[in-house]
Amino acid sequence: MPDLLNKAYKDQLVTWIGKSCHFRLLYKISRDGCSAQTFHQKCDGQGPTVTVLYNTSKTIFGGYLSQSWNSNGGYINDNRAFVFRMQYNGSSSPKKFPIIQAELDRTNKSRHKISVKKERKCYAGFGSIDCGPSFGNGDIKTFSGQIKRTRNYFDLNGSVSCLGDSYTLHGENSNSITNDNLQVSDLEVYRVVDGDAPQSILEKPWREYTDWTEEKMKEMKENLLAYKPVAEANVQAANILLLGPIGSGKSSFFNSINSIFSKRITSKACSGSFEHCVTTMYRQYKIKDRSSRKYLNFRLCDSRGFEEGFAMDTQEMSFILDGNIPDRYQFNPMVPFTSDNPKFINNPNLNNKIHCVAFVIDSSSVEVMSDSVLEKMKDLQVRMNQRGIPQIVLLAKIDKICLDVNDDVTSTFTSSAVCEALEKVADIMGLPRAHVLPVKNYESETKLKTGVNILLMEALERCLDFADDFMDDQLYTWASEGKDIES
């Protein structure tokens, strides 16, 4: 999934719009489907919006309206509207094309006289339930009805042949702005939110969460203390593997979970922001409850993070997934772990295997994640899918992308910034949005906080649910093949 509206292009739009603002993704055809009805359901009445098209000629173009989209079947009058080009044939080439304001004669009749008044009218857009975003008097018609994906693009049935009828092109033409090409890899509509307004402006949460109380936190903690893996699996503890780029917060997630059950901030796993990976050993961390002095029935497994210039040994990672590598194995980039190693676990059973993988991703660096690191994670996903191992994403450092969340973590599910980052990560990883969970690790805090605990424990609960699903699936598969559970 390409990185679509990047920071540089967003900054350019802010300059053109002429005021401080940020952008919240409302509609995306690769995610929501290319349907005029869906577009209007998600975008009508939302206020100012930016529509962006990404065509197969590597050209990025679109339009801005300061007025809301509607389905009234009439023109949208907007003297602040403009269309734009951001990129042409793969090269950055930003240019803004403002609306043409037409002067119309309006006749006023009264008892004593007839007067003619000049009225300025701007045919900025057209709102119809049958059509997707349409700019001008037919300048840019994106699509009508419903369009299905063709291979890796959508062949939109609109047109750009009239571009220039309602917008001033400054010597450009439809070809130099759009390549006359409406085969698009994606089309997005962003809501333009006033930069002076708090980012937690949504009228209702984008994900339902109703209880941030101390009682809720205690209930979740008790549920985790009582957790036991699927009984028939004969597994001592659920194994959750934490993976992600260096500095994303893998080890910090373990430390944070450990802090909750230790009733104080702990730092058992080495963590921090360093140039190279801090974790050099494969660890299966257990969590011990301070009150009962008992270990919980899950393990958080930590491995070295992905980084530029580090060639991950995919066979070594496969051994981790399959349960062949023991706890506390020291990684040696010069000598990869093989089946000849004396510590190699032969014939691992379900107790040794990884039951769920949690990718830990820094929400503040999603825009700049390197292609090589992303490629490593995608390669691993193929191996996980082959084994049926469920995957989840822990979206970390959400306090870094939203001041409201930094002040109060209970704003997480009303923050448009967190919502936008979550949707982008879901697209990048190819996972459902429900599989991406925002978390705030303990980093600068000296005391535990109820809201932070609830976010962390909710993420852990989801990991354990997925681990149980995997064990159930393994039991069913082995039973159907007549295999022994212990094998």
Dihedral, CA of residue 236, residue 241, residue 247 and residue 249, to nearest 10: -50
CA distance 415 to 161: 39
Q: Which of these, 57, 3, 48, 54, lies nearest to 26 by C-alpha position? A: 48
Helices 450-481 and 214-226, interaxial angle, to 10°?
30
Q: Which of these, 392, 318, 393, lies nearest to 356 by C-alpha position? A: 392
108 CB-contact burial (10 Å; exposed 0-12 / middle 13-18 / buried 19+) = exposed
- Which stretches of 283-351 are DSSP H helices? 314-322
CB-CB contact of 485 with 475 (8 Å): yes
CA 434 to chain centre: 10
Beta bridge partners of 330: 281
Give the pLDDT of the chain (487 residues) as one tens digit per residue.
333 688 889 999 999 999 988 888 889 998 889 999 999 998 998 899 999 999 999 999 999 999 999 999 999 999 999 999 999 999 999 999 999 976 544 545 555 555 544 455 788 999 999 999 999 999 999 999 999 998 889 999 999 989 999 999 999 999 999 999 999 999 999 999 877 555 444 557 888 876 899 999 999 999 999 999 988 888 999 999 999 988 888 989 999 999 999 999 988 765 544 444 445 789 999 999 999 999 999 999 998 888 766 666 788 889 999 999 999 988 777 778 888 888 999 999 999 999 999 999 999 888 778 888 888 899 999 999 999 999 999 999 999 888 788 888 988 998 888 988 999 899 999 999 999 999 999 988 999 999 999 999 999 999 999 999 999 999 877 777 666 655 4
Is the whole-model pTM more than 0.85?
no
Q: CA-CA distances (angstroms) from residue 25 to 16, 28, 194, 298, 348? A: 19, 8, 14, 37, 45
SS3 87: strand
179 Rama sector, left if φ>0, alpha if ψ -120 to 50, beta otherwise = left
What residues have CB less than 8 Å from 102, skipping those under 6 apart? 120, 121, 122, 123
Record: fold of 214-481? Rossmann fold (3.40.50)
Q: Per-residue b/e over 339-372, b at no fewer than 16 CB within 10 Å? A: eeeeeeeeeeebebbbbbbbbbbbbbbbeebeee
Q: CA-CA distances (angstroms) from residue 414 to 20, 180, 210, 328, 461? A: 20, 39, 12, 41, 22
Helices 450-481 and 250-262, interaxial angle, to 10°?
110
Q: Per-residue b/e over 415-425, b at no fewer than 16 CB within 10 Å? A: bbbbbbbbbbb
Please report, for the chain, the start and end positions of each structural domain, with discontinuous segments joined by +: 7-194, 214-481
Residue whose token pair is 């402006």? 201
Which amino acid, residue 67?
Q
Q: CA-CA distances (angstroms) from residue 117 to 78, 104, 105, 106? A: 19, 8, 6, 5
CB-CB contact of 356 with 389 (8 Å): yes
